[in-house]
Structure formats: structure tokens, C-alpha cells
Amino acid sequence: MPPPTDAPAGPPAAPAPPAGRRPAPALPRSARRRAGWGRLPTAVRRGVLLAALIAAWQGYVSAAGVSPLVFAGPADVAAALVAGWAGGDLVAPTLTTLRLLGLGMLIGSVLALALTALAVGTRLGDDLLSLLTAMINPLPSVAVLPLAMLWFGLNETALVFVVANAVLWPMAVSLGTGFRTVPATTVAVGRSLGLRGWRLVRDIRLPAALPHTIAGVRTGWAFGWRTIIAAELVFGVAGARGGLGFYINDARYYLDIPNVFAGLVTIALIGIALDLLFTAVERRTVVRWGMREGAAT
Amino acid sequence: MADTAEASAAAPGTGPPLLEVAGVAVGYNGPDGYTAAVADASFTVRAGETVMLIGPSGCGKSTLLRVVAGFLRPAAGRVVFDGRTGLAPGPDRAVVFQESDQLLPWRTALGNVAYALRATGTPRARARALARDHLVGVGLAHALDRHPHQLSGGMKQRVAIARALALAPRMLLMDEPFGALDAQTRGRLQHDLAALVRRTGTTVLFVTHSIDEAVLLGDRVVVLGDRPSRVREVVDVAGVDRPDAPEFTAARRRLRALLAEEEETAHAPAH
Amino acid sequence: MTTTTGPRRRDVLRGGLGLLTGAAVVGPLAACSGPQEGSAASREVAIATGYGISFAPLTIIEARGWLEEALPDHTVSWQVLSGGSASRDGLLAGSLQAGTGGLAPFLLGVDSGVPWRIVSGLNNMPLWMVTLDDRIRSLADLTADDRVSSPQPGSIQSMVLARAAREEFGDPDRFTANLVAMPHPDALQALLSGQIAAAVTSPPFQYQAEEEGARVLLDSYEVFGGPHGFNVVTALEEYAEANPEVLEALHAAIGRARDLIADDPAEAARVLSEAEDGAIIPERYEDYLTREGIEFTTTPQGLADLGAFMAEIGEIDAAAAPADLVFPTVAGEPVS
């Protein structure tokens, strides 16, 4: 039974409600309006907003006569996207970028695991990891690219190196936190079952650290993605071996603005797709096990 | 959960001691050096009996339990379990903790118990069957496929008990397992645990800070003094399990007096 | 570090939305500050320039103040930019009134619809492809793993390589996958440290490479069958229509610089060296200025030939007639 509302200001001495049933309080007008929009499902609300923005974008381009050398409208960008994906111009760079990212993430993950194992196992390792992370993590890995090119030459090794570097430190931090915050009681249970060494790590510590691990991989991916695109922009390999960053730069040299936008949209879409993938993974594991705050049961 | 008749089996506490704690001292290394929690504790537990450990806060009763479990080494003294010393943690002394972290969140209730069995050598199919049996035995037949975060506090402790018992331990160690539960749930679990222990004849070493729980569940109550603690007295409460009986009241009074004395000496009296 | 699932999905959609919103908002704003600003009302004259002998006339003009002399009512500023496309973008955005760039990017811009023309040529220069690698004696020795630098995609250096490839192997794109875009100083360093197998570059870098023992694989004058323009000064048509006197003054000043270099190279070298704080000594500069094939001129040359080649290999759709590519400033000169 909702609490009775206060008598509205205005007409003085509002009559007392009749004994028995109270009248239902009326919603104020603003709440009614809000309830209308708010009642639509999330996807619909976002979709409508997105469509409205795209329409505004197209409207501006068509009406204001913006120079196509500077700015492209959604119709042209969509056309460029379709052409790029169907005809393959966008496919090869995308695959190149994803391949380099994947390689860098793999190396970074392995190193993160190794460093974390050392950090969790020994005091010296812990100090070393903390120091290195504090110094290197704040540095955008792209800034290391010129050095990497000197060390490894003008080839993909330099690119993979900076990606691995971008991924390594946030992952090591997350993994370390994950391992360190395994509840002592859970570990004690493992030990009381007679688990030791690797079995204890595999069956107890690793699964317990999963929320932090996934968060670490997710953060690592985010840094890695941004780094590879930026590195490709700086690196400038021509021809078939270039990635999405080079594709955008190349399109810019040739004043192909719709393709610049198409490249950007592709980058964003991949980012969104992978984010959704991570969310799905989390939902199937960490959320299902109630290992996150506010999880649905 | 069926309540079996009280007239069951051999009287507890007969035969040679299963656990012998002799002159054990244990403490912690802190920033100010070594702090003794237990100065000198000696008691025994015989097969089949339920021994309660009680004492003022900080007296080291949980610490003692951990020594028996094998998580800690004593600084002095001897712990002999089943004729062996130098104990490591193991399923022969299965532990039930107070915290809900003792259940693995990524496994279901059934999974938790089955995993414990598999980890200690039981083949997969048999482990699942045994796990199901024990969970049914604690009244969780309807919650087998739920994850711990979907269980209430009382249900989680039932799973922990089922897991510990499924391991067929020589001794069941319990560290204030019902301390975080509301009074009603606690009462139900105490009752069900007592029935289970009677039915299976399990030996139990139980840490508690509740006098009522000690008298209700225990055969003997080991009362520890203030830190650094010693065993002050062992009160016999075998067979005393009806709260309205005069023996219950007498036992309760005795224990309360013992603990009150500790409190008095702990906080130096004004006069 | 944990968050709930719901807001995460919304964040993801928000991210996508953010990108499009950003584009939809920033783009028009950027486009707003377009060429309209560089119209008649403005007295700003911002000119793109750079370091090295390719920009020698502009450096001399700046040092001697000739443009400020000729345009007392205008504010002249010189901006050192990273390359031709920065210059082009500056013109389009209205932050430059006169740009500097290579011949090939100019033609590419025309083909893409950039409304610009040439105010004046700057120089004709032979462009070399050089290598320090003993293994590479000719183009045929280049393998798929060899890196070759050029200043940017679609630059005249890339065209030189493409043309030579077509001559020798019938395939202009044979070496496209080998190209790495690098500014000339970086390219020289990479060549010397062995990171790239060869560099298609320009004076003075190619001379410096030669001094270090590099061999010349290609000479653009040979590949193109004669001298050709290298850098030109450009401006947008709209600006030119409204400010013909500015472009005339610029063209005249470039002519003065050309004359100074031809008549008194020692003096010109001194000015250039001083402008760079003596990074290259005047004698050196004098040597570079007087090398064979280097000619400072206000007449753009090689437009028709290069345009035809670029159209043939599909780099541009169609070659325009040189007369349509220049402003009246060079009227009467033998534009080719």
C-alpha cells in the first residue's frame, strides 16, 4: 500500500478522504512523460537515438555543403564500408591488425603470468614487479615504438613488441591482485583436502582469481588495441602488409575521406564486438558464479 | 532430516585417545616479535566423542584448532593424532570453517562435495553418487545444482558439513561454524548436526564462544583461560542435551562462572 | 575493478555512439573553419616551408624579409610542416594561405578535387634511389623482405620507383609492398644503420648518403627522360581570386631568390646556413646548391609527363593540361 501523498498546495482545507478506500495518487505530468520513454526497452531507446544522430549527420552534410575533402556523410561512409569489406580492401588490413594484436597479447599474457608467479612467490619478485609497473605502465607504449624500431628493425617484430608491452603491465597487475585476494579460507580448504603446489594453484587459486584475470585481459586488450592502431599510424608500412592504422593514414594521403571514416568505423566496431565478447564470457563464468558485485542470480 | 533414537551405539569417549594435545604453545610473529596466544594447552579427544573448545575472545581456541588441522606448527609441546606427529593438513581431519569462502563459488553444491571426494582419490562416478547422498543427508536434495551465492547462510554451512563428512574423516574439526547465522537457523543446524554425529559416530573437535552450544553439542567442554591461555578446566556434559534439564543449567552456570572469572582478571578490577 | 553487467553493455553502446557523435560534432566544426576564413577580408599570409635545400628560395625570402617588404599591409608567417599532406590539409582548413609540396601529391590533390593550383615552381632536382647494401646492384636484386623508404605514399619518389619498375619488369606495383613511408632525415639514418635496404630520397640526403658510400640505383632524370620539377608552391583558387597581389608578390620573391642563388651561390649558401644555425656549413650548402641537375626556377616543369604516367598506372583518373594547373602568376613561362 503506497504511503499516502501530502495534500497538494493550492486549494486550502482539502477535504479529508472518505473513510475506507483512499483514491490512488495521480502521477505528476513530468513523471508520466518520463515513464513513456523509459518504458521502451534499452535496445530500442539506443537504436532510436543512434538513428536520430545519423540522420542529423547526413542532414548536415547534405544541407550545409561541407567539402567532401574534409568530411564525409554517413551514406558515403556506409558505401565505403560495404565496398571495403566486400571487395577486400578493408579485410586484409583488419586481419593484419588483429593478427599483430593477437600475437602481442599472447606474448604479453605469458610474460604477465611469469612475472606474476614470481611476484606472488617471492618478496623480491613482488618488489621488482611493483617497481617496473610503476615506471612503465604510465608510459603509452606507442612512445616506445621508435626505440623498438631501432632495436628490432623496421618489421612487425617492433609492432608486436609495443603491443606486448602495452598488454603486459595491466595484466600483471590484475593477475597479481587476483592471486593475492584469493580468500585465505578457500586456500585453507584446498590445503585441508591435501592439495599442494601446482594442484592447489590449478584447482583453487586460478579459478578464484578468474574475475581479476578476465578484467586484466580486458584491460590489456583495450590498451593493446589502441597501441597497435597508433603504432601502425606511426610505422607506415606500405602495401599489402599494412594494418588498419596504415589504411587510415594511406586513405588520408590520397584524400579518400570516406575510407578514412570507414577505417575508423571498422576500428570502433571491432572494439565494440570484442567488448561484447568479454561481457559474454563474464556472464557465463564470473557472473554465473556470483563472483562479481551486483550479479543476477 | 530424520531424528534417530538417542539410544544409539557405544558410549563416546571409550578407548585410547584419537587426539592428544600435550603442553602445546602457539603464537604469532608480529611486528613486535612473538606473541603467545596459547601458553600451555593439554587435553585429549577420544574416538567417538564431541569435545568443545571454549574460552574468552583471543584465547587462541581457533589457533589451537588450526594446529590440530595442520595449518600451524606449535612453538612447543606435542600433538599426536592417531599415533602420528608432524601433521600436515589433510582430509582425515576435515575442517568446517565459519566463512562462506570455504565453498568454491565456481562449483555447484554437488560439485563442491564431489570435487572434494575426487581430490582425495575417489573415482568420478562414485564421487558424484556419494556427494548426492551426503547432500540429501543434510536436507539439500533440492539445491544440488545451485551455486553457493544462490544459497542461504544456513544452506552453505550444510554443504560444508556434507563435504566434510563425505570425506569420512577420522575427526571433524569445526571452527565456530554457526557463529554467523541467525538464532533460528543456528538452532536448526545444531540439532541436525547432533543427529548426524550420533548417527555416524564421528569424532568432533568444535570451537565455540557460545556456552549453550557447548553444553548442547558437547560431551566434554575444554575451557581455555585468557591469553596466553592454558586449559582451565574440562567440564563433563555428556548426555546433557535438554536445555530445560537441571544438569544443563548447572553446567551452564559452571561455565559462565569460569568465563566470568577470566573476564575479571583480564580487566583488572577497580578495587 | 568489478562492475555490473548491465552498465557494461550500455558503456559499449555508448562508446559506439560516442564515436559517431564525436564525428558528427567535430567534423562540421572542422569544416566550418574552412576556406571561408582565408578570403579577401583576411590579411594573414601563412606560408608552409621547411628545412633543406628543397625550400632554399623560401628560406632566403624569409631571412631577407622580401615578402614583408612587398606586402606591408599583410602579416606574413612561416610555418615549418612535416610534409606535403600537412601542407594540403592546412590549406583546406584555412590555416595556410600558401602551401609547399611535391609535384605528384599536387596532381593527386587535383584529381581528388582539391581546388588548388600552382603559384610558382621552386626547383628542379634529380631524385636518387640509393643503397648501402652490397647485395643490391640493381632493382632485380630486391627481395620481398627488403624495405625501401619513400617520403609518403603517392610521392614523386614513389612514382620514380613505379616508373622504373614498369620499365624493367612491366609492373609498376612490383615494389609497392616494399615501401615504408619515412621523412628524409629518418630515412637516411635508417639507411646508414641498415634497417632499410634502399631509400628513394632527395638532395641533400642523397648526397650525404653517397658520401657515406651509398651507390645510386636510380636517377629520376633518367627514369623520366629529363629534368622535372620537385617542389611547388600552391594556393586555393578561392584565395587566389581574392588576393592576386599576394601571389604575385610571392612569385616575384621566389624569382629574386632564384636569381640570388644563380648569381651568388656563396651568399645564398651563407644565408641558408645561418637560417639553420650553422647546422650545415656554408661551403657544404654551396656545394649542394651548385650540383649538376639542380636548378631553381619559378616555372613548374614535368606536369604533363608525370600526369600522363600517373594516369596510365591508375594513380589518378585523368591528367589535366598544365595550363589548367597554374595561376596567372606564371603566365608567359614555359610550363610543361
Backbone angles phi, psi at B132, to 5 degrees: -60, -45
The CATH architecture to which A94-236 belongs is: Orthogonal Bundle (1.10)
How many angstroms separate the CA of residue A105 from the nearest CA in chain B? 26
Q: Are C196 and A42 in contact (CB < 8 Å)? A: no
| Per-residue confidence (pLDDT) for residue C154, from 0 to 100 | 85
Backbone angles phi, psi at C281, to 5 degrees: -70, 150
Query: Closest by alpha carbon to A52, among A71, A82, A77, A74?
Result: A74
Chain A residues in contact with B71 by the CB 8 A cut-off are 188, 191-192
Chain C: partners with 3+ C-beta pairs within 8 Å? A
| Per-residue confidence (pLDDT) for residue C2, from 0 to 100 | 45
Tell me the pLDDT of chain C (336 aa) as tens digits: 444 444 455 555 555 555 555 555 555 554 444 444 444 456 889 999 987 888 999 999 999 999 988 988 899 999 988 777 889 989 998 899 999 999 999 999 999 889 999 999 999 999 999 999 999 999 999 998 888 999 888 899 999 999 999 999 999 999 988 888 888 888 898 899 888 999 999 988 999 999 999 999 999 999 999 999 999 999 999 999 999 999 999 999 999 999 999 999 999 999 988 888 877 788 888 888 888 889 999 999 999 999 999 999 998 998 889 988 999 888 888 888
Q: Are A154 and C147 in contact (CB < 8 Å)? A: yes
Chain C interface includes A146 (CB < 8 A): no
Radius of gyration of chain A (CA): 27
CA nearest to C173 within chain A: A239
Across the A/B interface, how many CB contacts are shorter than 8 Å? Answer: 68
| Per-residue confidence (pLDDT) for residue C9, from 0 to 100 | 53
CA nearest to C8 within chain A: A279
The residues facing C200 across adjacent strands are C129
C198: alpha, beta or left? (left if phi > 0; alpha if psi -120 to 50): beta
Q: Are A294 and C31 in contact (CB < 8 Å)? A: no
Q: What is the mean pLDDT of chain B?
A: 88
The domain ranges of chain A are: 94-236
How many angstroms separate the CA of residue B105 from the nearest CA in chain A? 6
Q: Cell numbers at residue A100, please?
A: 599483430
| Per-residue confidence (pLDDT) for residue B27, from 0 to 100 | 87
- What average pLDDT does the segment B245-250 reach? 88
Q: Cell numbers at residue B224, please?
A: 581455555
The beta strand positions in chain C, using DSSP E, are 44-49, 75-80, 99-102, 116-124, 128-131, 148-150, 179-181, 198-200, 215-219, 229-236, 295-296
pLDDT band at B270 (very low <50, low <70, confident <90, very high): low
Q: Are A153 and C4 in contact (CB < 8 Å)? A: no
From the list B69, B97, B105, the residue facing A289 with the nearest CB is B105
Question: In degrees to the nearest 10, what's the CA dihedral of A247, C139, C336, C292?
Answer: 120
Chain C interface includes A215 (CB < 8 A): yes
Chain A interface includes B185 (CB < 8 A): no
Q: Read off the pLDDT of residues B31-76 as tens digits, 9 standing for 90 and up.
A: 888 888 888 999 999 999 999 999 988 888 999 999 999 999 998 9
Chain A interface includes B179 (CB < 8 A): no
The SS3 assignment for B29 reads strand
Distance CA A132, CA A135 (A): 5
CB A209 within 8 A of CB A182: yes
- What percent of chain B is predicted at pLDDT more than 90? 63
Q: What number of CA atoms fall less than 13 Å from residue B203's CA on the CB side?
A: 19
Q: Are C154 and A253 in contact (CB < 8 Å)? A: yes
What's the gap between Cα A181 and its chain centre?
A: 24
Q: Which domains does chain C have, with CATH numbers?
A: 35-125+228-330 (3.40.190.10), 128-223 (3.40.190.10)
Q: Cell numbers at residue C315, please?
A: 594513380
Q: Is the pLDDT of residue B265 over 70?
A: no
Q: Is the pLDDT of residue B8 over 50?
A: no
CB A271 within 8 A of CB C15: yes
Mean pLDDT by runs of 10 across the 297 residues of chain A is 43 49 60 70 85 89 80 88 86 91 95 87 85 89 86 84 94 90 93 90 90 92 92 68 85 87 92 91 87 52
| Per-residue confidence (pLDDT) for residue C18, from 0 to 100 | 53
Q: Is the pLDDT of residue B80 over 90?
A: yes
Mention every residue, 6+ apart, whose C-beta is less than 8 A from residue A275. A218, C8, C11, C12, C15
| Per-residue confidence (pLDDT) for residue C20, from 0 to 100 | 55
| Per-residue confidence (pLDDT) for residue A234, from 0 to 100 | 79
Q: Are B90 and A189 in contact (CB < 8 Å)? A: no
Q: Which domains does chain B have, with CATH numbers?
A: 17-94+169-266 (3.40.50.300)
| Per-residue confidence (pLDDT) for residue A101, from 0 to 100 | 94
